[in-house]
Amino acid sequence: MSWAVEEWKEGLSPRVLQKIHELESQVDKLKKERQQRQFQLESLEAALHKQKQKVENEKNEAATLKRENQSLMEVCDSLEKAKQKILHDLQVKESQVNIQSGQLNSSKKDVERLEQELKR
């Protein structure tokens, strides 16, 4: 088949044949260069897609972490409120213990006084 492709060149001057050969070489070179650039383009597109996917994954992870952080903040707030309530209850109970302790001391003094009166 190659001979049929070359058939049209018969009878051309050596100078024209040289120019045709140069042009064909240039076409082959340009085809190879085009293939290389196409490969580079495809590689860059794949890398871009990979980076976009990575960015999307990072966004999703950031959103998940943000939700988790919000949930933890709510838990902390709830725990802080519970702590404040417990501290308040503790203060109330300490106050009650102090009052009862005072009443106990007063009662002890009353008992001692009554015992002394009975002894007299």
Give the pTM.
0.55
What's the number of domains the chain is made of?
Answer: 1
| Structural domain that includes position 18 | 12-119
Position 103 in a domain: yes
Position 16 in a domain: yes
> pLDDT tens for residues 19-47?
999 999 999 999 999 999 999 999 999 99
Position 106 in a domain: yes
> pLDDT tens for residues 76-111?
999 999 999 999 999 999 999 999 999 999 999 999
Q: What's the CA gap between 41 and 35, in Å, rounded?
A: 10
Position 102 in a domain: yes
Q: Which residues contact 17 (CB under 8 A, 6 or more apart)?
A: 9
| Confidence bin at 5 (pLDDT 50/70/90) | low
Ordered DSSP codes for 40-105? HHHHHHHHHHHHHHHHHHHHHHHHHHHHHHHHHHHHHHHHHHHHHHHHHHHHHHHHHHHHHHHHHH
Q: Looking at residue 1, what is its pLDDT?
A: 47
Q: Looking at residue 73, what is its pLDDT?
A: 98
Position 4 in a domain: no
Position 5 in a domain: no
